[in-house]
Amino acid sequence: MIPRRALLAAPALLASPALAQALAIRQDDVVAPGWRRGVLIRWGDRVAFDAPPWTPAQPSVEAASAQFGWDARVLAVLPSPSPDGVPRALLAVGHATVDAALAFPGGRDHPEVAGAMQGASLLNLEKRGAEWTVVDGGYQNRRLTAATLCRLGADGGPVTGIAGVTGGCATPWGSLLLAEGAAAEWRGRLPSLDAGSIGLVTEVDPSDPVSVPVKRAALGRFGAVDAAATLAADGRAVVWLTDGRPGGFLYRFVSDDTAGARALDAGRMAAARMEGGSLRWMPLGEGDPLAAARAAGATPLDRPRGLAFDAQRQRLCVAVNGGAGHVLEIRAAAGDAAAETGVAAVLIQGREAPPTGDAGRHATVAAWPWAPAALGFDRDGALLLGTDRGTRPGTLPEALYRVAVDGGDRGRPELVIGAPVGAALGGAAAAADGALLAAIAHPGQGPGARWDAPATRWPNMRPDEPPRSTIVVLAR
């Protein structure tokens, strides 16, 4: 229970739905009242039609490259045609990391296998009755890994490998963007990767399972951790990017030409300067975007991470992860995403929940976002906020919240699901029926956690099975 003294000290929070739920770090997940959850897909489950059964004690490149990856970050849910009336969708998931201590027996790294466990998964979904399921043998089901053949620019030569996908988005012109924000750690782990072609934003045609992904160097070579995209009023492509570092920046790319297959090969980069609620995009010169943003006087942020754009309401939200964290809401002048000015405001401020007393990490505390990391929007325009404080200690488990963005409840979070110990909330997106597809990423991590002694064995809780990143379906 929340102490009465704490409630009296914060009367402004009494009306918040989040405070109707208290959380403690535990081995299982906890679903808020009024929600139900199911399992869609887990690490090792079949993606490609010819994927072998999951045998985690005997890892292989062949199996890993056809199965759902080790980590998980929901990137987008794209609508699919439904000629027979069965609701369908295409789900894109990024797999940024592979922790050898938890992924492999004995904790001994298998770099080539790990390279096949990371990257991205594209999954055909359909709704049968009340449940969303992965289509077994779906024609667009696809794994993108460190061995995937790509192209450097629309007319460039071949390069190999997609590495460290931390974020991304669907675009209005029909493509999928993958932000390779964790690519740096893969350069040393997989020397075969071309250092000049990873850490870029990769563009994929999700509708064509044999299309060749394209690396877009014009969007910068700084390892963007997330991306969001829309169209300018004149039809040009607009892409926002975050770099995730302490003192990092919010960037914007505006294409020279109308959005399409070649638009992201040429355009202008800018970085945001924010002062007193106003925003201005500062043009950047050639070279390193970080150095150029500093020189241009852009505003540094404490670990800017997740991005989400609500096209219907023309609002961009930015998760700032450092410290307790907060979420910025940005609106462009005249509703034109390519405008040089706009306004910025804090939508929700995070609150730290540090360890307290002898209860340690098992203390029960009020549910409130701490260290926002992954963002999305639901069907009604509310913000979906997933937290990830990394290795910072605290008594609050990572969780998914639904945050109102308008009206009297603006900025008030509603708990949806709390993750098990060691897991991060790797984002969420809404299906057409309003159900949420959310990623519970790398459960069981923690100090000293290893293959034979993880912090939890979620989701199946079997003594002979390692914990598994899982996409869950949440519905009211």
pLDDT of residue 17: 52
Q: Model pTM?
A: 0.95
Of all helices (H) and strands (E), which one includes residue 292? helix 289-296
Are the CB atoms for 418 and 30 separated by under 8 Å? yes
List, in sequence order, the alpha helices (H) in 2-83.
4-9, 61-64
Calculate mean pLDDT across residues 287-315. Answer: 96
The dihedral of CA 114, 176, 45, 97: what is its sign? positive
Degrees, nearest 5: CA angle 302-303-308: 115
> DSSP letter at 394?
-
Q: Is the pLDDT of residue 164 over 50?
A: yes
Residue 279: DSSP 8-state? E
Report if residue 455 sits inside a domain.
Answer: yes
Give the domain range for residue 382: 18-475
Residue 463: count of CB within 10 angstroms of its CB: 6
**pLDDT(96) > 90:** yes
- DSSP H stretches of helix in 331-410: none
Asked if residue 424 belongs to a domain, the reply is yes
Single-letter code of the amino acid located at 274: M
* 312: number of Cβ within 10 Å: 7
Give CA–CA dist 467/442, Å, rounded: 7
- The amino acid sitting at 340 is E
Q: What is the pLDDT of residues 10-24, one digit of tens each?
A: 334 434 555 568 999
Give the CATH number, domain containing residue 306.
Answer: 2.120.10.30
Residue 216 lies in a domain: yes
Residue 422 lies in a domain: yes
Q: Do 260 and 154 meet the contact criterion of CB atoms below 8 Å apart?
A: no
Helix (H/G/I), strand (E/B), else coil: 333? helix
Number of domains comprising the chain: 1
In tens, the pLDDT along 394-407 reads 999 999 999 999 99
pLDDT band at residue 7, thresholds of 50, 70 and 90? very low
* CB atoms near residue 276 (< 10 Å): 6
Q: How confident is the model at residue 390 (pLDDT cuts 50, 70, 90)?
A: very high
Print the SS3 string covering 222-277: CCCCEEEEEECCCCEEEEEEECCCEEECEEEEEEEEECCCCHHHCEEEEEEEEECC
Q: In sequence order, which residues have a C-beta less than 8 Å from that of residue 99 and are 6 or more positions away?
A: 70, 442, 445
Mean pLDDT over the full length of the chain = 93
**For range 33-52, the mean pLDDT:** 97
**Joined tokens for residue 295:** 């020189």
More confident residue, 122 or 393: 122
Q: Is the pLDDT of residue 68 over 50?
A: yes
Centre a 10 Å sphere on the Cβ of residue 103 and count the other Cβ atoms it contains: 23
Tell the burial category of 345 from Cβ atoms under 10 Å away from its Cβ (0-12, 13-18, 19+): middle
Report helix, strand or coil for 6.
helix
Neighbours of 154 (CB within 10 A): 15
Percent of the chain with pLDDT over 90: 89
In a domain, 241, yes or no: yes
Residue 3 falls within a domain, yes or no?
no
408 burial via Cβ count (<10 Å: 0-12, 13-18, 19+): exposed
In a domain, 74, yes or no: yes
Q: Which of 82-86, 157-161, 203-207 has the lowest mean pLDDT?
A: 82-86
Of the CA atoms within 13 Å of residue 29, those in its CB half-sphere come to 35
- Reported residue count of the chain is 476
Query: Does residue 3 have a cis bond before it (omega within 30 degrees)?
Result: no
At residue 279, the pLDDT reads: 98
Identity at 349, one-letter amino acid code: Q
DSSP symbols for 93-122: EEE----HHHHSGGG---HHHHHHHSEEEE
CB 438 within 8 A of CB 472: yes
Residue 188 counted as domain residue: yes
User: Using CA atoms, how far apart are residues 343 and 330, in angstroms rounded to an integer?
Assistant: 6
Q: How many whole angstroms separate alpha carbon 109 and alpha carbon 118?
A: 14
Report how far residue 446's alpha carbon sits from residue 404's, in angstroms, rounded to the nearest whole number: 32
